[in-house]
Amino acid sequence: MRLFLLTAITMLAFAANSILNRMALEDGTTGPAAFAAIRLISGALCLWALVAWRSGRLRPAWHPGGAASLALYVLGFSFAYVSLPAGVGALILFGGVQITMFAGALLLREPVPAQRWTGAALAFCGLVWLLWPAGGASPDPVGAALMAAAALGWGLYSLLGRGATDPLGATAGNFVFAAPLGLILFALLPDTATAQGAALAILSGAVTSGCGYALWYAVLPRLGSARAAVAQLCVPVIAATGGLLLLGEGIDLRFALASALVLGGVLLASLPARRA
């Protein structure tokens, strides 16, 4: 139950990141480079302060793979949503994460029961039904490529987190060394940020990204690659629900049925084999 609650809190943080990013970039007054740079810097400062307060150590741990994959995810994610609809972007992101993490599980010889494959397939079918736009318009190829890169980055970041012995310290190091990459991209592709956009980026970086990713590294060793990949498929459902509530819109039958299919698939994949 403790693992379930911690995983649920982490998924809520991931969904909040999507909502905050969309809110900041929605009107075009805050650019993706500025949002990503502020997000990385605020996450780095928050986590660095927490590590220093906890242990008195001011030098963060250096994990080049974690920092590079985190930067790839954050930057690709921000720039992809300039041209992609939210639903299609989420499909590409979480589909790519599924492929990356299931491939990692197979390469690492992690056992993947048949029920987990079945649950993943059900959940992903529900996600396609929920998020694919009417008319099936093809997505912008540049945005799709950027979101695919973000999916690769997040999948690798999650696979690397399976061996984290100090989740807070590892996440702090990843943010501290990813932040300069965000600043370099901002210098190459400068844009602007409003006060509201900057506030949303700080909230995303310090709370839902920094603390949320530290919690993710804490639960990953107990989840395993395949189960962690499937669990993340509920994030678009949570994000879509949050968007509906924030916009005051109703929930139609398609949304309810597709969400039930996603959550049912996640539940099936999460159950121990003997119980399923």
| Contact assessment for residue 102 and residue 258, using Cβ atoms and an 8 Å cutoff | no
- Name the helix (H) or strand (E) containing 95: helix 86-107
Which of the two residues, 132 and 223, has the higher pLDDT score? 223
Which residue shows structure tokens 């650019």? 31
| Average pLDDT of the residues in 216-243 | 82
- 247 φ/ψ angles, rounded to the nearest 5 degrees: -90, -5
Calpha distance 255→245 (Å, rounded): 13
Cβ–Cβ contacts within 10 Å for residue 209, how many? 29
The label of the residue with tokens 């999916």 reads 151
Give the pLDDT band of residue 3 (cuts 50, 70, 90): confident
d(CA 181, CA 224): 29
Query: How crowded is residue 19: how many other Cβ atoms within 10 Å of its Cβ?
Result: 19
Out of 124-128, 132-136, 199-203, 206-210, least confident range: 132-136
Q: For residue 274, what pLDDT is reported? A: 53
> In the prediction, which pLDDT does 273 show?
57
Q: Is the pLDDT of residue 4 over 70?
A: yes
Mean pLDDT of 79-96: 79
* DSSP SS3 for 67: helix
pLDDT of residue 153: 94
The dihedral through the CA atoms of 25, 157, 260, 9 has a sign that is negative
Q: Is residue 276's pLDDT more than 50?
A: no
Measured in degrees and rounded to the nearest 5, phi and psi for residue 138 equal: -70, 140
Average pLDDT over the chain reads 84
Per-residue pLDDT band at 204 (split at 50, 70, 90) = very high
Crossing angle (nearest 10°) for helices 2-25 and 86-107 = 140
Q: Which residue has the tokens 């990692």?
A: 104
| DSSP string covering 259-273 | HHHHHHHHHHHHS-T
Cα–Cα dist 136/55, whole Å: 52
**Coil, helix or strand at residue 231:** helix
